[in-house]
């Protein structure tokens, strides 16, 4: 099968941990993936989530890609399609957490996490693993700029619960990112 201008070479570089190769692959296929995901899910936030997860999977599985079985575009489209279908089949636990577009832009610069960041996709993956109530308070605090009191009022929960959810969410993210700290 014809390799579209070195897709296999980019995947080899990604398998070796080359972030620039992943960026190039995203530049080539990000819009196509989003368009496909949006056509299936009919929601921007879900399409963005599917595309992000698809690129996380490329990052993790780049070394397993076999160009003799299919072109990268075909394989990647199938990954995006399957993620969207799975998303539609299950009730999305993050739906209550609100839109998560560009989550890596705000959480990657959070002071306690910054020293352990190896890759923004890892941060996004860690954030998506959080329970909805923890991701929601972190999103409101770090992305939307709410104070603890404002979050408590908006969610109709005690301020102490907001602080606990934030602490637990950050602890879980640190564990997922391999920091090892628990406070």
Which among 39, 35, 40, 83 has a CA at the least distance from the CA of 58? 83
Which among 87, 73, 77 has a CA at the least distance from the CA of 54? 77
Q: What does the alpha-carbon distance between residue 180 and residue 172 come to, in Å, rounded to a whole number?
A: 10
Note the pTM of the prediction, 2 decimals: 0.48
Instruction: Calculate ∠ Cα 171-172-175, nearest 5°.
Output: 90
8 Å CB contact between 133 and 101: no
Q: Alpha-carbon torsion 144, 41, 120, 19, what sign?
A: negative
Q: Element (H or E) spanning 80, and its range?
A: helix 72-89
Per-residue confidence (pLDDT) for residue 4, from 0 to 100: 56
Per-residue confidence (pLDDT) for residue 96, from 0 to 100: 44
Q: From the CB of residue 172, how many other CB atoms can be counted at a distance below 10 Å?
A: 18
Per-residue pLDDT tens digits of the chain, which is 183 residues long = 345 558 888 999 998 988 899 999 999 999 999 999 988 888 888 889 999 999 999 999 888 888 888 888 888 999 999 999 888 877 544 554 455 555 555 444 444 444 444 466 677 778 788 898 998 898 888 777 888 998 998 889 999 999 999 999 989 988 887 754 444
What does 30-41 look like in DSSP terms, one character per residue? HHHHHHHHHHHH
Residue 142 is classified by DSSP as I
């Amino acid at each position: 099968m014809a390799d579209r201008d070195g897709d296999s070479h980019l995947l080899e570089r990604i398998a070796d941990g080359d972030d620039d190769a992943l960026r190039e692959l995203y530049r080539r296929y990000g819009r196509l993936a989003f368009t496909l995901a949006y056509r299936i899910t009919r929601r921007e936030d879900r399409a963005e989530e599917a595309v992000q997860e698809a690129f996380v999977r490329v990052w993790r599985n780049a070394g397993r890609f076999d160009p003799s079985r299919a072109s990268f575009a075909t394989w990647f489209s199938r990954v995006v399609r399957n993620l969207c279908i799975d998303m539609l089949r299950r009730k999305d636990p993050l739906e209550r957490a609100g839109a998560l577009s560009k989550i890596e832009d705000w959480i990657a610069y959070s002071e306690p996490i910054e020293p352990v960041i190896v890759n923004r996709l890892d941060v996004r993956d860690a954030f998506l693993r959080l329970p909805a109530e923890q991701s929601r308070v972190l999103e409101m605090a770090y992305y939307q700029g709410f104070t603890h009191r404002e979050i408590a009022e908006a969610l109709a929960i005690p301020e102490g619960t907001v602080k606990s959810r934030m602490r637990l969410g950050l602890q879980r993210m640190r564990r997922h990112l391999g920091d090892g700290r628990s406070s």
